Amino acid sequence: MAEIVLRNVTKRWGSFTGVACTNLTIADREFLVLLGPSGCGKTTTMRMIAGLEDATEGDILIDGRRINDLDPKDRDIAMVFQSYALYPNMNVYENIRFPLKVRRVPAEEHHDQVIRAAEMVELTDFLDRRPGELSGGQRQRVALARAIVRRPNVFLMDEPLSNLDAKLRVSTRAQIKNLSHELKVTTIYVTHDQIEAMTLADRVVIMKHGVIQQVGTPVEIYDRPANTFVASFIGNPAMNLMEGTLQDGVFTGRNARIAGIAGPDGPVVLGFRAEDATVVPAGGDIVAPAYTMELLGDATMVAVRAGGALVTVKAPKDYRVEIGAPVEISVPAAICQLFDADDGSRIEPA
């Protein structure tokens, strides 16, 4: 059991605020991903939970117990680092065994626990090797095994896949997902990769400049972004965001006119996903010359300039258009989302 609560947690260095008054509850056995660009405060938040950074203000609670003043070792938390942080002088077996040794777990239990952890990450053939003799993926698996060997209450993972190549990242990601399912331990995972966030998380927390922008399931965040930052950060390609004016249910922007939008009159930002719009031969809501065309194999991405932004639409894989030739795009009003033109926050339909 480990429910983590952050109550008004703030981290400041002098006048710079790294994390601003964060309130968050992470349920027991939940897989929560902290997502955001570099410098958004996600790693600092994790390090405060780990005890590697002191919170300037606020309370951190695990199962209702305030842990701010506890040493990292007393919080029953295991952490996986981006750089693996293995002990180069010890072999794989000793690396995995280290937490048991320093926590004074009876020596006769060590072997079984180490072997079980090694089996979970498929490392049993490499137990005699030193970290320097392993590949990046194997090293990260050693770090995982070291984290799981003592069965902690909470796992913290700080961009564990960032140093791996694309192929290895996919397989290790699957392994982490599987482990999380098997171990059922509260996990906080920090990443700036939205695909990792979407594939692994029960819930995603999106941060910017030390402030939480949105907390929700991957589907909620993808379908109903709280503001233009989240809309533009999640999804590949990101959500199309056009500036324009809404008047009597009609959105008008440069090269765009979309009718049937429910919302307050005035300047707005209109957003829609590339896969929700279609390229049509005639009668489109957006009519603009093709800016670029990218062949992805299973689809063709067509981009035009409209509403002060580059608008990308997913077209069938055999669709072809000359750059500069007019493209007509149909945007159903039902899939459109509105954001405030000033602060970018989401405008819920009346």
Partner 1 sequence: MRFKTFACFVGPSLLLMVLFIAVPLVSVFIQSFHVTQPVIERIETERCTAGFLEQQCSTEIKNVPVLDERGSIVTTTRFVGLENYRAVVRPDSVQAAISSWNWPALMAIDFWKALRFTLSFTLITLPLVIGLGLTIALAVNNTTRSIRGPVIFVSLLPYIITPVIGALSIRWLFVGDGILTQAMEAWSGRQISMFAQGWTIELLMLFYRVWHVAPFAFVIFYAGLQTMNRDAIEAAMMDGASRFERLRYVIIPHLMPLIFFVSLIHLMDAYRVFEEVVGFRSQAHVISLQWLTYDLLQPDDAGNRAVSRASASAMLTMIGIVILLVPLLRKSWRDHKGVR
Tokens of 339: 């954001």
What's the distance, Cα to Cα, between the start and end of the chain in Å? Answer: 41
Per CB under 8 A, does 8 bind partner 1?
A: no
Report the residue from 14, 64, 88, 106 that binds partner 1 according to the rule CB under 8 A.
Answer: 88
In this structure, the dihedral spanned by the alpha carbons of residues 179, 183, 187 and 193, taken in order and rounded to 10 degrees, is 10
Compute the residue count for the chain: 350
Q: How far is residue 116's CA from residue 145's CA, in Å, rounded to a whole number? A: 9
Least distance CB 132 / partner 1 (angstroms):
8
> Does 14 interact with partner 1 (rule: CB under 8 A)?
no
Nearer to partner 1, 69 or 248 (CB): 69
Return the range that interacts with partner 1 (CB under 8 A); candidates 86-94, 115-123, 280-288, 312-320.
Answer: 86-94
Listed in sequence order, the residues at least 6 apart from 133 whose beta carbon sits closer than 8 Å to its beta carbon are none
Coil, strand or helix at 292:
strand
Please give the backbone phi and psi of residue 238, each rounded to the nearest 5 degrees, phi first.
-65, 165
Nearest to partner 1 of 43, 172 (CB atom): 43
Q: Does 167 bind partner 1 (CB under 8 A)?
A: no
Q: Which lies closer to partner 1 via its Cβ, residue 143 or residue 230? A: 143
CB atoms within 10 A of CB 237: 17
Contact with partner 1 (CB under 8 A) among 60, 62, 86, 148: 86
d(CA 311, CA 239): 9
- Closest distance of CB 182 from partner 1, Å: 21
Strand ranges (E), 27-76: 31-35, 57-62, 65-66
Closest contact distance (angstroms) between CB of 81 and partner 1 is: 5
Chain mean position to CA 175:
17
Residue 13 interacts with partner 1 (CB under 8 A): yes or no? no
Residue 98 or residue 291: which is nearer to partner 1 going by CB?
A: 98
In the bound state with partner 1, the residue whose beta carbon lies nearer, of 104 and 167, is: 104
Q: Residue 299: how many CA atoms within 13 Å on its side-chain side?
A: 11
Instruction: Give how many residues touch partner 1 by CB under 8 A.
Output: 27
Helix ranges, the chain (H): 42-50, 92-102, 107-120, 136-148, 166-183, 194-200, 218-223, 228-233
Out of 20, 52, 250, 321, name the contact with partner 1 by CB under 8 A: 52
Rule CB under 8 A: is residue 6 a binding residue for partner 1? Answer: no
One residue of 87, 107, 128, 151 binding partner 1 per CB under 8 A: 87
Name the one range near partner 1 by CB under 8 A: 21-29, 44-52, 118-126, 239-247.
44-52
Which residues partner with 309 through β-bridges? 306
226 binds partner 1 (CB under 8 A): no
Residues 39, 72, 136, 289: which binds partner 1 (CB under 8 A)? 72
- Binding interface with partner 1 (CB under 8 A): 50-52, 71-73, 77-79, 81-90, 98-99, 102-103, 132, 143, 146, 150
